[in-house]
Structure 1
């Protein structure tokens, strides 16, 4: 039993260290071999934590308690599951939920306010500045109402067609 617990303790600690030091580089070099998309529970931090706790708790219970071998094994497995679940709910899940994307779709711009940078002629194209999720972005604009819109004017994006924002002046 000691050999199993020692192997798990050392393997889990080594896995945690390698993941910490070489995690992204190793994953990229091996083409994402270790990225398991089944569920976030299989993240290296959860697995290495659970394996390490299984080995460490098993050693402690085996040496410092009078429990029989199967009880030590069951308690070590339960401890590993408990710590793995804790790692998942305290670290992995909040980190996954905190990821933000700076991308947006052009179709999401309809209804947003913008400012005219380059005057928009009645027929033709100008440029507007729109505040998006990722910051400010410039886009080609045309007049929705076929009226000239001067630089600095506030406009609303009425529709988006073929990469062009059709704007109408705010009154």
Structure 2
């Protein structure tokens, strides 16, 4: 049994090291392959943590407790299950709820609405503020129609050329059926 416990412990440690070093590459390569298993507690980090704790607890209990094999297995499973629940409730579930990125790409700007923060002259540059997720981002902007645009008006980004957002005034249509 000691070989099983040592194997579980080693497998968990190897999984942790590989996850830290190339976890993003593996995640990108598999890109949603395992999304059919919609159970959050089947998270690889939780499962690997359970296997590692099972191996470590079993190894320690076998060497230092003097308990029989069945008791060591049962106690190791109980300890691994408890750590899994704590890992899931204390780390995985809260992190899943807080997964938010304020990163964006300039390619995402066309079609977004925003507000002019620095007036845009007919043949020059101003500044716009566009909301991305929970945050706002400021961008250099130019008038798409070469019309002066004052600060404070709503705009729509039409295109992005060489890092400059081309914008036009957003006009709301009232009372029209679509």
Question: Is TM more than 0.5 here?
Answer: yes
Change in 2 beyond 3 A, CA 1:75/1:34: farther
Give per-residue Cα distances to partners, 1:55-84, cap 9 Å, x unaligned: 110122223224332222122112112222
Match of 1:130 in 2: 129
Aligned residues: 151
Match of 1:93 in 2: 93
Using the TM superposition, give the Cα deviation of residue 32 of structure 1 relative to its aligned residue in structure 2, in angstroms. 0.8
In 2: Cα distance, 1:52 partner to 1:88 partner: 15
Change in 2 beyond 3 A, CA 1:131/1:27: closer
Equivalent residue of 2:30, what SS?
coil
Report if aligned partners of 1:27, 1:35 keep a CA contact under 8 Å in 2.
Answer: no
Report if aligned partners of 1:118, 1:128 keep a CA contact under 8 Å in 2.
Answer: no
In 2: Cα distance, 1:2 partner to 1:119 partner: 78
Report if aligned partners of 2:120, 2:143 keep a CA contact under 8 Å in 1.
Answer: no
In 2: Cα distance, 1:119 partner to 1:10 partner: 66
Using the TM superposition, give the Cα deviation of residue 156 of structure 1 relative to its aligned residue in structure 2, in angstroms. 3.0
Report if aligned partners of 1:141, 1:166 keep a CA contact under 8 Å in 2.
Answer: no
* TM score, norm. by length of structure 1: 0.64
Change in 2 beyond 3 A, CA 1:35/1:20: farther
In 2: Cα distance, 1:33 partner to 1:166 partner: 37
Q: Which has more radius of gyration?
A: 1
Superposition CA RMSD, Å: 3.7
Give structure 1 stretches of 5+ with no counterpart: 121-125, 143-148
* TM score, norm. by length of structure 2: 0.62
